[in-house]
Chains A and B, each alone.
Chain A
Amino acid sequence: MQKFPAYYTIWHKLGVYALKYTAWLVLFFLIVPIVVIIPLSFNAEPYFTFTRGMVTLDPAAYSTRWYDAVVTNPNWMLAIKNSFIIGFFATIVATVLGTLAAVGLSSQYMPYKRVIMALMLSPMIVPSIIVAAGMFFFFTKFGLAGSFVGLVIAHAALGVPFVIITVTATLSGFDRSLYHAGLSMGASPLKTFFDVVMPLIRPGVISGAMFAFVTSFDEVVVVLFLAGPGQRTIPRQMFSGLREQINPTILAVATLLILVSVAFLITLEFLRRRSERLRGLEDHG
């Protein structure tokens, strides 16, 4: 039982309970659709729903056949491989360019800061259909449509805003005089950057890189417009599967992806705590 201040009326107490249950209902709404997928992916039947056997916990109603279907299907395996390759290179490009730019943008001397910042964050805001259509028109001219290079470039552009945001955030707690001290002691900007700045912003860079990777890993619209059959990725494979032939293989892949997100979430939380320790900040709560 909760303790209430003496001046609370009965209505007020009810209000507190109503709030609590509303909040729990919303949490339920947020999490249940994701949790439901996991048992469904072990369905022995080719349906998207709980069979009678599943409800009564009959072991025969469960199977790993859809996981086997993923592993033995060359299209899914190719998609998984491609997703990692494209994600990896897009992340590197976005992280390197984004980190450099974020350091520049954090400088108090940076001209036209507001405009440039707005431009660099805009890939996050502009609808992906517009980006995809534009890239389709433009990249075709250079033979980049239907190529890995084209997709890496496209996904790197989409990942850049996240790197900028996270790195800028770590830099905002960073004492600039260190950097200037390094510079004024005659060290080259590059050396100063790697020796002084980099260790401090590393958590921000890593979490930015993770965001960039997830952005690429989850991106489907640009892939739909730009990729050829040889460049199919996991989301694309899921998209066409959901459009054409719905079977629980997709649920098996979805479950695997949920595990990936859990891993990311844990890593990010770990990084956040470390970053706070490094910057000597107290838990902001």
Chain B
Amino acid sequence: MNDTPTIAPVALERGTSDVLTKAEIRLAHREVRRHKMVAFALVVPLLLFLFFSFVAPIATMLHRGFYSPVVAQLIPNTLQSLATWDGQGQPDDAVLTNMAIDLKRLAADRTSGKLAAEINRNKPGASSVVKSSARKLRRTDDADLAQNGATLLLAANKAWADPLMWRAVQKSGDTYTDGFYLTALDLERTFEGELQIREATQIYIKLYTKTLRMALIITLMCLILGYPLAYYLANAPSKTANLLMIFVLLPFWTSLLVRTTAWIALLQTNGVVNSFLTGVGITSEPLDMLYTEFSTIIAMTHILLPFMILPLYSVMKGIDPTLMRAAMSMGARPIPAFIKIYLPNTMPGLSAGALLVFIISVGYYITPALVGGTDGQMISNIIAFHMQQSNNWGLAAALGSMLLILILTLYWVYDHLVGTDNIKLG
């Protein structure tokens, strides 16, 4: 279909030899506008729906990666008095007193845990300082606290004399922060504002690399397994091909949880594969296959293989089978003929399948979560971990945003290479 709506149907009907009057041109333009409006009106409900159900949630998540209002809300007074501190040595007694008063209030409100969790992100180990101090200060007298707050705070925990502790408090007090994104990149900002590699641990870049490596292996596996099968199906007699296609389509239509369950049944210590291997005598001890990177890769290859086969098959179907035959009857050797003639012709299907498999596997969550154990985990799993287990939603959002950027880049490549309007199902 034509993308350029410059010529109205009215104009076409008139034929090209006639010259249009101005009124007719106006009419034609109005007609085009009307069609545009109708088309757009049809799309608007879905656009609005997707805006609410899809775009806005993702935007909220992106925002979450920068926004961290908790500490500023919990200890406003302390932060205000800390603003003038130069970052060296122990802050003024006024600051310490404010903190002591704030901690007592937080302990009574049962929100000291929130503060502790936030500060702990900037200074690992700080959480126990905050919480134990709050617990001790809870029983102090208000008047005493206002008088000797600083002394009481230091008595509760001597870590409050440490400037690093206060730098962490100050840093946590920023309502808008790039801290989560920096952590997601294994970076941190020094007190002087310079970027450096995170001292505590560097895991996320490694995890991204690992995810990409696993996705690449899965894509290659799908290619190695999918290409010959697609070729065979495309060149088999129509009846056979249709019948065998069921073997590709049935897994494609089967719930991915069912397929993951199947792999658990196959690969577990006492599972089907191990019983077979030990029964036949290939191994004496059952192999540890489940809950490893290996099981993640094999299960995901199985799950994503149809996404590779289907586009390859439909492209190969369109290649004239006499092409190769002609080349070879003229004396070309099979392998060079294949590489020079056949392979380039399958490139559209190959790139579509490979990109699709790669994109889906980079963001996969379920299968690694169920069969991956600890070493088969991918980036999605760590995002889920920070969402559900460590409750570090800012970091989860930052990691998610980076994953999103990665996926959208790949999607853009896909759109330009393959075209989203060429996606076919089944």
Write the residues of chain A forming the contact surface with B, with a CB cutoff of 8 angstroms.
5, 7, 11-12, 15, 19-20, 22-23, 26-27, 29-31, 33-34, 36-37, 40, 47-50, 93, 97-98, 100-101, 103-111, 113-114, 116-123, 125-131, 133-139, 153-154, 156-157, 160, 162, 165-166, 168-169, 172, 180, 189, 207, 211, 214, 217-218, 220-221, 225, 235, 238-239, 242-243, 246, 250-251, 254, 257-258, 261-262, 264-265, 268, 272, 285
Contacts and interface: CB of A to CB of B under 8 A. Distances in A.
A123 B415 contact: no
A130 B49 contact: no
Given A33-B262, A134-B57, A110 B257 contact: no
5 nearest A-B residue pairs (beta carbon):
A127-B363, A104-B42, A134-B57, A23-B232, A107-B39
B6 to A, nearest CB: 10
Contacts of B38: 104, 107, 109, 189
Nearest to B260: A242
Interface residues of B, number: 102
B58 A131 contact: yes
Contacts of B60: 134, 137-138
A250 B393 contact: no
Given A50-B275, A109-B32, A130-B363, A238 B261 contact: yes
Interface stretch (B115-123, B192-200, B221-229): B221-229
A89 B47 CA distance: 19
A15 B9 CA distance: 56
A221 B366 contact: yes
B411 A122 contact: yes
Nearest to A150: B53
The majority secondary structure among interface residues of chain B is helix
A113 B3 CA distance: 8
B365 interface: yes
Contact of A157 (B54, B270, B426): B54
Contacts of A49: 265, 268, 270-272, 275
B42 A100 contact: yes
Contact of A242 (B270, B328, B329, B370): B370
Given A29-B302, A101-B45, A104-B39, 12 more contacts: A11-B334, A12-B334, A22-B228, A31-B251, A34-B259, A49-B268, A105-B43, A107-B35, A131-B54, A133-B61, A134-B59, A189-B38
Given A100-B45, A107-B38, A265 B250 contact: yes
B203 interface: no
